Amino acid sequence: MSFLKFLRQHRLASFWFVLCLSAVLLSNSVPFLQSASAAVPMASMTTTDSVRKTVLENGLTVLTKEVPTAPVVTVQVWYRIGSRDEAQGVNGIAHQLEHLMFKGTSDRPIQFGRL
């Protein structure tokens, strides 16, 4: 059944649905959006606020941010290497190493999410 045929068969229900939906969306949309944006200042919505940068002796850069409202720890590792850094003739090495990082090997199985 096509959508237009469905609408023709259910004209009255479609009319009331569209009417009610429009009324809900138009009735309090502006004050609702204004009160939501006023509740949280824009400065607190940025993700780089209070990020601390530490460079270790081995050159590793560590970025940390404490979020007291979230009782979790997240760790991400980013490497500044990739296919653009590969020499001619060794194409695909960066991609292979990427797979080893998240799939592991038979000697070094993956251990994400485990302590």
Split the chain (115 residues) into runs of 10 and give each run's mean pLDDT. 68 70 63 52 63 87 86 78 80 80 76 56
Q: Quote the pLDDT of residue 14.
A: 67
Q: Do 99 and 56 fall within a single domain? A: yes
Q: Quote the pLDDT of residue 38.
A: 53
Q: Which residues are known catalytic residues?
A: 98
Q: Quote the pLDDT of residue 25.
A: 65
Q: Do 69 and 95 fall within a single domain? A: yes
Q: Quote the pLDDT of residue 76.
A: 78
The model's pTM is 0.36
Which residue type occupies 53? Answer: K
Position 67 in a domain: yes
Q: Do 19 and 57 fall within a single domain? A: no
Q: Do 31 and 60 fall within a single domain? A: no
Neighbours of 93 (CB within 10 A): 14
Q: Do 32 and 56 fall within a single domain? A: no
**62 to 43, 57, 73: CA distances (angstroms):** 23, 11, 14
Q: Do 64 and 96 fall within a single domain? A: yes
Q: Do 57 and 94 fall within a single domain? A: yes
Q: Quote the pLDDT of residue 101.
A: 74
> How many structural domains comprise the chain?
2
Which residues, including other chains, have CB under 8 Å from residue 95's CB and lie 6 or more apart?
A: 83
Q: Quote the pLDDT of residue 49.
A: 76
Q: Do 29 and 72 fall within a single domain? A: no
Q: Please state, in angstroms and rounded to a whole number, the distance separating the CA atoms of residues 79 and 35.
A: 41
Position 88 in a domain: yes
